Amino acid sequence: MSLISVKNSPITPLLTKSFSRRAVIMLLSVATLLLTGCGEEPAPPAKQAVEEQPSRFSKDKIAYRHSYHPEWPKEVRNEVYGDKETFSTPRILFKANIEWMEQTTLFSARMDGSDRRRIIPETAFNDKWMVGLHKPERSPDNRYIALSMDTTEHGFTRELWDTKTQQFIFMSKGHGYAHFNWTKDSENVIFYASGKHYNYHVPTKSLTERPIIYSNGLYLLPDGKTFLAHKKNEYWLHDFNGDVIEKVDLGFNNHLSMRSFKVSPFGDYIYFVSEGLGAAQNYWINLTHPSKRLILPFDRDTYFFSWKKNKVMTWYLKKTEEAMAKDGYFYGTYFEEYDLITKEKKTILAEESNIWGMAGIYIYGVFNIKDEQ
């Protein structure tokens, strides 16, 4: 049943004429009275609750450490291609994430941890993600970074990030460890993909298959002509075309494997952590005299080579005196430098620990090493 019978209503004449403004107002008034009840005030509209977004520097966030360091910039610094000041010193390449962002990306910093700069903006990762355990490799001119990616469109890929154009460059599809190597002129990047070995020529964007060098990791030495191939518990030297120059047997038991394998930027040492034969140990072997080796217990994270000759570094977290909310404490990053010749250790407090809520970092290594230090 309708609330008003239009046919028998005294206001029917009003409806049969052109709707005057007055008639419409009368109709609305009557309808409102019938719906709300005579003499009752219409209920006020419900007040909408507005949820206040917590500040990215609020006390329940790691980024709150900015309160103790007013000198830190609030906004994230970005690395700028060709900036002379940024690239005036050696830098660390690492991955991390900003506390209020959901995407892990690449950063660089000075060797003391200061001047942290984002290399790839999080928005560039559209339906693609870095394969974090594959080491990115920066070109000698610092423009390009070779990366293994996991993409929605192509699956696993090999790509370049161009820091000048701020774009990804697709090189190839392919799974497995890439082990990127650059030629000195920054024009060629060499890598593995799906069991094959390739050369990508950057200026022409052409991909060429190379004679494969089988290895657990391949490293182009500073002479630009010799590859060092990591085998299970030894290494082989190959010329640029893949022919074997020398097989170096390190005299290890067949049960031993070399993991976290690295070659120094000066081509004078290899580093690895032993696995499969007793307690894990850190090893450094002199490539000129492979019988000369230094062994330390593996009691922290792995080491990476410094920008200084005969120096290696590792890092760890240590509780600071700065208290967080909820009875917690901030943890600062410390670098430990170890001299392979003198055996001296030096501890360095990293600058800008927890800046932008950057709690944890994963260091890939050092780049922009111009000359022997």
pLDDT tens per residue across span 112-150: 999 999 999 999 998 999 998 899 999 999 999 999 999
Mean pLDDT over each residue of the chain, to the nearest integer: 86
DSSP codes, 109-148? EETTS-S-EESS-GGG-SSEEE-TTSPPEE-TTSSEEEEE
CB 312 within 8 A of CB 271: yes
Q: Which residue(s) pair with 269 in the sheet? A: 286
Residue 2 banded pLDDT, cuts 50, 70, 90: very low
Alpha helices in the chain (DSSP H): 12-16, 21-36
CB 333 within 8 A of CB 353: yes
Whole-number Cα distances in Å, 163 to 46, 97, 124? 52, 19, 12
Q: Return the DSSP state at 231.
A: -
Name the 3-class secondary structure at 298. coil
Name the 3-class secondary structure at 166. coil
- Per-residue pLDDT at 258 exceeds 60: yes
Q: Using CA atoms, how far apart are residues 251 and 259, in angstroms rounded to an integer?
A: 16
pLDDT computed for residue 321 by the predictor: 80
- Per-residue pLDDT at 276 exceeds 70: yes
Residue 309 banded pLDDT, cuts 50, 70, 90: very high
pLDDT digits (tens, 9 = 90+) for 20-56: 444 444 444 444 433 344 434 444 444 443 434 568 8
Tell whether pTM > 0.85.
no
Whole-number Cα distances in Å, 317 to 79, 238, 268? 25, 40, 30
Alpha helices in 37-190 (DSSP H): none
- Per-residue pLDDT at 371 exceeds 50: yes
pLDDT computed for residue 193 by the predictor: 97
Residues in Cβ contact with 293 at an 8 Å cutoff, skipping those fewer than 6 apart: 283, 284, 285, 286
